[in-house]
Each structure stands twice: as C-alpha cells, then as structure tokens.
Structure 1
C-alpha cells in the first residue's frame, strides 16, 4: 500500500543525518568565530568541502547562532558625529558609512547599526515609545535577541494597514519580543471617521490607560517621513494627495507619527488631527531621549526639521546624509 509522504514520520536515519548536520554547523561556527580557523582548515577538520563550510556558516547566521556587530563607539566618535553634535546640539550622533552601491543599502546599514545601538541606550525602568513605518520596521527586525530588565515598549500610534507588515503594532511588538520587554499596544485605529467618535474612544477606560502609557514614555524611537506623493503617509491614505499638496504649500516638510511639521518642526494642523488616535507632537517633544533614524537625501529636510523642533536627542544616520545635514547649517 502506498504511503502518504506528507504524513510520514522522519526515520531514525533521517533524524541522525539532521543531527549530524546541526553538529557540523555548530562546530564550523565555533571554529571560524572562536578558534579563528579559515574555511579551508575547517573543511579539513570536518572532512567536507570548503563549499559545505560556507553553507554551514551561512546557515548559522540565518538561524541567528551568530550575530555580527560592530562596536557603536566607532560610529559615535566619527568626525561627522562630532560635527553633527556641535551643529545641532545633539547628545549623540551615530554615523555609519554610506553604501556606495545604493541608497537602499545605506538605509539597511543605518537600520542595522540602530538595532545594535538600542540596547546600549536602554536602562531598567525605561518606557520606550516606538513609531511605525518601513525604517522602524527594519530596525525592529534587526534588533538583537537580548533580555533587558524592566523595559516597557509602547506603540505610539493606532493601527493602520501598511505595506509588508510595517504596521505600528508589528514594529512595537517585534522590538518587545526581541528584548524580552513588556509591550503596551494601542488597540484603536490610527484615524476614525469623525472627531466625536475619537473623543468617545479616548474616554474608554482601556484606551485611556493605553494613551496614558503613550504620553508617559521617557524615550521614543521614530523616523521622520517625507511629504511627497509617494510617501508613507500618502501610500497609507492617511492624507489624500490633494491634502498633501495643500499642506506642502503651507510649508509641510516632514511627518512624525502621521503628523505634519514645517521646516522648524512646528506642527502644521490638518483636518484629521482631531480624528487621530496616538501620540501628539507636543508629547513627542523634549523627551529624555528622542532617537531619530534617518538615511537618504530625501529624508534630510524632515530630519533637520525634527531636530530643530526639539524632537531629537540621538540621531542614527549615514555619512552622506550627515554631510547634507551639515551643509544645511553652513
């Protein structure tokens, strides 16, 4: 009688082969990263080809047996870091080398370095508010799996459907999971149909408590979005293209947590402000720590506006963006 292979249990021989492969992956990883052997030496030790060793090391990184990081201090003591701190009055600026091949590569580098930096910025008792969008999602995904004592992660804005899982609850939940932190989600939509409904929702006891946690964050992690027709705020239809054009004419330069700011960081009122559920710009200002993640020429006006407006104490960026920010101040 034929056997349904999809339901068949692994045989003992298959289990042994998997176990041997796992042992080989671990041995290759230890020999390479701890013993300092090269791939040819490891291949001889294990009796396999060099190509197999390359595959073992790749698999080890995929499984997160190994996490390669660079000391944040290298990028905090960069000449550009010091110049940014002096020019903008920042507490710290982390500047990584731009990727010469693509802006997307630079953004990936900045997200990775921010993820590695975050554990050094957090202390027991901290309540870190987390924004949303692609940049913050990248940081969340790359955050190391560490247990940080007595940390609370708070979702700063209500939920809104977003491309590729960039939704606010995903960003906050992912960082909380990686750091073993308590997570407070904001269980409401980002915008509702009218101001009266928003007021009623804010009065609900559970939501009142969640919004109090949003206001009470002592540290925040965010990006400042653009106001173009292809921006995150446009793609998620928070504001229509006509509204965006109108506000650009009024001086809109950047977006923080779905709220518009001008070149000085001053809020620009919109017709959805009273229908929005989440952190306000006033609540985002003058935090103990405001961590802005910014990479790319298109992000320079918004980043500069956010710094000018008092939302930023710590900046993570790339060398090209740093240069452009400094040119804006000369």
Structure 2
C-alpha cells in the first residue's frame, strides 16, 4: 500500500531512529520537529508495524519521480535517495537504502551475482546481518592485485558473511597479460564452470564504472590512462563487471575485454533482477550506457540523478528501451 503523505514524517522518523540509530533528540533536530512528536511518531510506527526494513524502504520508492522514471525507461523498481534538508547526507544514506532494497529482493535459495567497486563495498559494509542459509553469493569477475581496495573477492566474501550465505570466489586475475592466456584460463574446467553458472543467478548487485583517467580499471593497473582515453574516443560508455561497454551498452571488441576474466555480458542481462546503485554525479553517462544495454531492472539513485535521467529520456535522447528490464 502506498505511503500516505500524512505518514511520510512517521516513516522518516522510524528510518532515522531504527536504521541509522539516531537518538530521539537527533531525529527531532533532523526533521525540525519536537522530541515529543518524535516519540509519538515512533510509537505509531511500532503500532502500525512500519519499523521493519521492508516497509521503511517504501519511503524511497513511493515517489512520483520514481514512478515516472520506471515508466519512461521500463524498469521494475526505482528507489530515490532525496537531497533535501530532511534527508541524511546522500553519500551515507545511499548504501543504507541500497542494502535494505537488496535484502528485500532476495528470496530463499537465490543465487546472487556480485560485482566490485567502492559502491558495492560500501553497501556490504552497512548491510545488516541476516540468516539466509540456502543463498549463494557468486563473484562476477576475476580478482585484482592485493593492494587495491574494494576487490571483487572482498565484496563477495563480505556480502556472503553478512547474509550467512555460501560465497563462491573466482580465483583468477581480472585481466591477463595476453589474449591467448586469457582464453586458456577461461577454458580451465573450474573457471569455465564458475563463469557458466552466473547465468543461473536470480539477482545481481553492481554499479557501473566510468571511462575517465581515474577510473577503477586505470587505478588498479588493468589499463593505462592512454589506453582508457583511446577506448573513450572509440565510443566506450562504461564498465560492467570489469568489461568495457559502448554507449549503446554493447560489449566493445577490444584487447582489454578479450584479456578479461568475467561473466559473459549476455548472461548478466538474462538475470531476472539486475540491481544497479549509482551515487556519483559523474556516473551519469555510464549509467545511461548501462540502461541502454539492458543491464538494469532495479535502480537506486539520488533525486538529482533521477531527474537527469528522466530529462534525457523525455528529450528523446535515448529512444532505445532496455527490453530485458521489462522481462
């Protein structure tokens, strides 16, 4: 049932108090209401059963802008993190909202694919513990060097630990030194089986990488700045699970992708629930590329990003609808 406007403040109070752990006086200051009002709203929230994560996330989904964006792009679900005075800092709020949405999307016995990056790691870091035995968390791509933060194995292992689920890591590098070596490694029975099993996933959690000089692929040493710049000039639009896609969301035919150990992108597109979380404004064009390619069915973004996306689709700049997002 949609949240009535009169109940919005109750849900905000419950979210801040129960999910963020703010004291009642802090909630009062944040919402610019009295502490007595906070106590009344929290009591009403308990009586009405809205203090659960499941109900609280409606606060970010029951929004006209979210519905408009779902209809315009053909998405199954959109959650918008507001940027007003009653919202937490979007940088800290985004992972909390995303973690709650992610938990809602998991069903008993699901197989979940997880990519890598700062956004995914922050989601894992704030994810509450859950007992989801029977769930399996699978790494989508090979690994990075030990000094690099937010490695694929770290993201997969931490999410599996939080869910009390089985975690399956791919013990291979993300990028090999030659195409022949990458082909040989992909044909190794263990690696081949792991990559093939990704198509059996019910849910995938990831963000999209950019193609700028300080992108993850450049910082981890997979590509040089010059190589990334050349790819951008050739039409690169973003990075999905370590692979470069063009602005239409299609896998680029390039040496990097041929040397990459990662899930087949068509396998990722076939996963029923493809949850993407994007918090940086600089990721707008990569997100558009991911949407064009059908890599998103469920989306968590800031309000400003949602308005930019809606403007792009309304202007007819992206007429291609991601048919997989509607399937």
Q: Please, what TM-score do these two structures have when normalized by structure 2?
A: 0.76
* Paired residue secondary structure (1:183): strand
Structure 1 residue 146 displacement after superposition = 0.5
Q: Counterpart of 2:282?
A: 298
Partner deviation per Cα, 1:64-89 (whole Å, 9 max, x = no partner) = xxx99971111111111101101110
- Correspondence for 2:182 among 198, 202, 222: 198
Q: Distance in 1 between matches of 2:226 and 2:172?
A: 26
Number of residue-to-residue matches in the alignment: 269
Q: Counterpart of 1:235?
A: 219
Gap change, CA 1:277 and 1:294, over 3 Å in 2: same
Partner deviation per Cα, 1:197-226 (whole Å, 9 max, x = no partner) = 222222323222322223332221111111
Gap change, CA 1:213 and 1:227, over 3 Å in 2: same
Does residue 72 (structure 1) correspond to residue 57 (structure 2)? The answer is yes
Gap change, CA 1:286 and 1:212, over 3 Å in 2: closer
Q: Counterpart of 1:85?
A: 70
Partner deviation per Cα, 1:98-129 (whole Å, 9 max, x = no partner) = 377xxx94233211111111111000121110
Does residue 176 (structure 1) correspond to residue 160 (structure 2)? The answer is yes
Q: Provide the alpha-carbon RMSD of the alignment.
A: 2.7
Look at both structures and tell me which one has the larger radius of gyration over its CA atoms: 1
Q: Distance in 2 between matches of 1:186 and 1:215?
A: 15
Conservation of the 8 A alpha-carbon contact between 1:296 and 1:320: no
Gap change, CA 1:296 and 1:99, over 3 Å in 2: farther
Structure 1 residue 38 displacement after superposition = 6.6
Does residue 95 (structure 1) correspond to residue 89 (structure 2)? The answer is no
Structure 1 residue 133 displacement after superposition = 0.6
Q: Please, what TM-score do these two structures have when normalized by structure 1?
A: 0.75
Give 5+ residue unaligned stretches, structure 1.
1-31, 40-66
Q: Counterpart of 1:211?
A: 195
Does residue 314 (structure 1) correspond to residue 295 (structure 2)? The answer is no
Q: Distance in 2 between matches of 1:148 and 1:125?
A: 8
Conservation of the 8 A alpha-carbon contact between 1:287 and 1:311: no
Conservation of the 8 A alpha-carbon contact between 2:132 and 2:163: yes
Q: Distance in 2 between matches of 1:142 and 1:284?
A: 25
* Paired residue secondary structure (1:221): strand
Give 5+ residue unaligned stretches, structure 2.
1-16, 26-51, 315-327
